[in-house]
């Protein structure tokens, strides 16, 4: 298992994590799955679902090893009259949060999540209200270590980054969602794949760059678009991707630290963790997308690495990431410039041979991009 820094939190999380909201089996089944995952190096858990049965089972699954799990606990996911309810009312939120701690068998969460915020108005209202103040108080008391936010809306996520108050974001990432426009329509945000465009939406691309630059880590939800990307019939691309290809797509986005996948069986755990030992061919999402019937990414670098090897040793995908980070600002940030200059080879070393370009599935004019990037960074 590989581990990544979760932004500036100081937490090192497994690049494959556990998104556990639909764990409806028995305690013993849940523990068997969690023990199998833990023994293979998984160390981050998120469960926004407030069903007491699920949370109690997860607590049983962690028992004896709670110090080995990094848990994202949610503020605002409440269980009222036997049903899930999203709330900002502290008379409901506080007992629900305390009950989450109790059921999971811990006295703190490494990350406390501002749960499910998909409109800018809601974010703005609560950031300056009693709900968020309570979250800050929990951090000051040590009940949570860091403050995060979960959203499907890139505009909300961008506002969270710019606020400086949010340390990490749980965001829905996959190659289908990345083509979709940022809107407040919940049906689109939750995955109306018919709304997709013909390449990565600029606001989503900018969000990943903003998170990377600000040190706001991302944990990924919905990496398979609810399983639709794994089905040729349901995928908007008209082709099926594998779990490994979807995970690799997510992990090549700037700022992404962990991809949270859901499991109901040990076999499903192994299907996700197979990512850790594949060949480059098995991880290759780019060739599949480039040959798809619809939603082409033509002309856009997706950091897939097909352009390698470079004759002079440039890590082209990383150079393009730094260029994208820089281009979203009026001036090149000093931090991005220094990371770029620390590369053993950068765009100024490009000899313009264009040997890389026939390898790019998306037809990116790499040599011209290297020339522009060399000029950008001076």
Q: Is the pLDDT of residue 22 over 80?
A: no
Exposure on the CB side of residue 96, measured as CA atoms within 13 A: 26
Task: Tell me the C-alpha to C-alpha distance, in Å, between residue 311 and each of 30, 300, 306, 345, 356.
Answer: 50, 22, 14, 11, 8
Instruction: Please give the pLDDT value at position 189.
Output: 64
Higher pLDDT, 177 or 142: 142
User: Tell me, what's the pLDDT at 247?
Assistant: 94
CB of 225 closer than 8 Å to CB of 174: yes
Binned at pLDDT 50, 70 and 90, residue 233 comes out as: confident
Tell me the mean pLDDT in the region 13-19: 95
The residues that bridge with 18 in the sheet, in sequence order, are 45, 261
Strand partners, 144: 109
Instruction: Report the residue count for the chain.
Output: 378
Sequence-distant contacts of 86-92: CB under 8 A, at least 24 apart: 86/115, 86/116, 88/126, 88/129, 88/131, 90/130, 90/131, 90/134
Q: In this predicted structure, which of 67-71, 285-289, 348-352 has the lowest mean pLDDT?
A: 285-289
- Residue 76 and residue 115 in contact, taking contact as beta carbons nearer than 8 Å: yes
Q: What is the mean pLDDT of residues 10-39?
A: 91
Least confident piece of the model among 231-245, 311-325, 333-347: 333-347
Categorize the per-residue pLDDT at 59 as very low, low, confident or very high, splitting at 50, 70 and 90.
Answer: very high
Q: Which of 270, 227, 303, 221 is nearest to 1 (CA)?
A: 270
Q: What is the largest CA-CA distance in the chain?
A: 67
Phi first, then psi: what are they for 44, rounded to 5°?
-125, 135
Say yes or no to pLDDT of 46 above 90. yes
Q: 186 falls in which pLDDT band (50, 70, 90)?
A: low
Kindly report the backbone phi and psi dihedral angles of residue 333, in degrees, each rounded to the nearest multiple of 5, phi listed first.
-60, 145
Average pLDDT (298-302) is 73
Q: State percent of the chain over pLDDT 70.
A: 94
Q: Quick check: 244 pLDDT over 80?
A: yes
Q: How confident is the model at residue 188 (pLDDT cuts 50, 70, 90)?
A: low
- What's the pLDDT at 296? 64
pLDDT the model gives residue 323? 85
Q: Where are the domains of the chain?
A: 3-284, 316-377
Backbone angles phi, psi at 339, to 5 degrees: -65, -40
pTM of the model: 0.82
pLDDT surpassing 90 at residue 281:
no
Share of the chain above pLDDT 90, in %: 54
Are 283 and 243 in contact by the 8 Å Cβ rule? The answer is no
Of the listed ranges 18-32, 219-233, 316-330, the least confidently predicted one is 316-330
Region of poorest pLDDT, from 120-134, 237-251, 304-318, 320-334: 320-334
Pick the range with the lowest mean pLDDT from 18-32, 167-181, 186-200. Answer: 186-200
* Residue 308 DSSP symbol: P
Of 27-41, 125-139, 319-333, minimum mean pLDDT range:
319-333
- Upper half-sphere CA count for residue 335 (Cβ side, 13 Å): 8
Nearest-angstrom CA–CA distance, 156 and 304: 27
pLDDT for the residue numbered 348: 93
3-class secondary structure, 146: strand
Residue 295: its pLDDT value, please?
Answer: 64
Query: Which residue in this structure is represented by tokens 């293979």?
Result: 40
Question: What average pLDDT does the structure give for the chain?
Answer: 88
Strands 3-5 and 12-14, sheet pairing: antiparallel
Return the DSSP state at 235.
-
Confidence of residue 114 (pLDDT cuts 50, 70, 90): very high
Give the pLDDT confidence score for residue 220 in this predicted structure. 95
Per-residue model confidence (pLDDT) at position 294: 65
Query: Residue 194: is its pLDDT beyond 70?
Result: no
Cα 132 from chain centroid? 23
Q: What is the pLDDT of residue 107?
A: 93
Does pLDDT of 118 surpass 80? yes
The answer to whether the beta carbons of residues 113 and 74 sit under 8 Å apart is: yes
CATH C-level class of 3-284? alpha beta
Contact criterion met (CB below 8 Å) for 302 and 283 = no
């Amino acid at each position: 298992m590989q581990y990544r820094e979760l932004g500036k939190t100081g937490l090192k999380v497994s690049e494959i994590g556990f998104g556990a909201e639909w764990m409806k089996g028995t305690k013993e089944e849940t523990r068997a799955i969690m023990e199998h995952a833990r023994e293979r190096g998984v160390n981050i858990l998120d469960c926004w679902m407030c069903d007491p049965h699920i949370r109690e089972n997860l607590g049983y699954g962690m028992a004896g090893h709670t110090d080995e799990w990094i848990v994202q606990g949610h503020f605002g996911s409440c269980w009222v009259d036997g049903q899930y309810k999203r709330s900002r009312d502290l008379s409901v939120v506080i007992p629900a949060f305390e009950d989450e701690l109790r059921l999971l068998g811990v006295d703190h969460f490494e990350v406390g999540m501002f749960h499910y915020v998909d409109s800018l108005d809601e974010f703005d209202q609560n950031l300056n209200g009693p709900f968020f103040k309570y979250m800050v108080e929990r951090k000051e008391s040590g009940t949570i270590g860091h403050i995060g936010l979960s959203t499907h809306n890139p505009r909300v996520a961008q506002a969270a980054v710019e606020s400086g108050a949010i340390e990490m974001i749980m965001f829905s990432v996959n190659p289908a969602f990345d083509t979709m426009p940022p809107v407040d329509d919940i049906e689109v945000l939750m995955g109306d794949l018919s709304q997709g465009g013909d390449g990565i939406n600029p606001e989503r691309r900018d969000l990943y760059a903003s998170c990377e630059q600000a040190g706001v880590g991302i944990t990924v939800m919905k990496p398979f678009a609810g399983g639709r990307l794994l089905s040729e019939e349901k995928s908007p691309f008209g082709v099926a991707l594998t779990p490994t290809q979807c995970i690799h797509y997510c992990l090549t986005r700037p700022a992404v630290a962990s991809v949270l996948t859901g499991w109901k069986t040990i076999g499903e755990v192994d299907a996700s963790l197979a990512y850790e030992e594949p060949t480059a061919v098995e991880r290759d999402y780019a060739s599949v997308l480039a040959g798809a019937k619809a939603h082409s990414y033509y002309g856009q670098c997706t950091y897939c690495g097909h352009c390698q090897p470079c004759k002079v040793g440039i890590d082209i995908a990383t150079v393009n990431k730094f260029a994208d980070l820089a281009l979203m600002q009026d001036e090149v940030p000093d931090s991005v410039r220094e990371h770029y200059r620390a590369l053993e080879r950068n765009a100024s070393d490009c000899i313009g041979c264009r040997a890389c370009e026939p390898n790019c599935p998306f037809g990116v004019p790499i040599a011209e991009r290297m020339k522009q990037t060399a000029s950008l960074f001076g």
